[in-house]
Amino acid sequence: MSQHAPSGHSRSTLTKNQKFSIAGVATLGAAALAFSIVPGSSDDARTAQTEALGARSAAWAAPADAHASVSKQQANASKRAKDAAAKAAADKKAADEAAAKKKAEDERKVKQAASRSAARKPVYANNLDGWIRQSLDIMKSKGIPGSYEGLHRNIMRESTGNPNAKNGWDINAQNGTPSIGLLQVIQPTFNAYHVDGTSTNIYDPVANITAAANYAADRYGSIDNVNGAY
**In which residue ranges of the chain is pLDDT below 50?**
1-14, 17, 20-41, 57-62
| pLDDT for residue 73 | 86
- Torsions phi, psi of 185, nearest 5? -100, 140
| pLDDT for residue 200 | 97
**Torsion-angle region of residue 127: left (phi > 0), alpha (psi -120 to 50) or beta?**
beta
Structural domain that includes position 160: 128-225
Contact 101, 169 (CB under 8 A): no
| pLDDT for residue 25 | 42
Number of domains making up the chain: 2
Contact 198, 206 (CB under 8 A): yes
Mark whether 206 and 145 lie in a shared domain.
yes
Q: How many other CB atoms are there within 10 angstroms of residue 225's CB atom?
A: 14
| pLDDT for residue 44 | 54
Q: Cα dist. 164→29, 149, 226 in Å?
A: 148, 21, 22
| pLDDT for residue 229 | 76
* Residue-by-residue DSSP string for 71-106: HHHHHHHHHHHHHHHHHHHHHHHHHHHHHHHHHHHH
* Boundary-marking domain end, from 58, 92, 121: 121
**Contacts of 217 by beta carbon, 8 Å cutoff, 6+ apart:** 144, 145, 146, 223
CATH number of the domain encompassing residue 206: 1.10.530.10
Give pTM, 2 decimals.
Answer: 0.51
Contact 217, 144 (CB under 8 A): yes
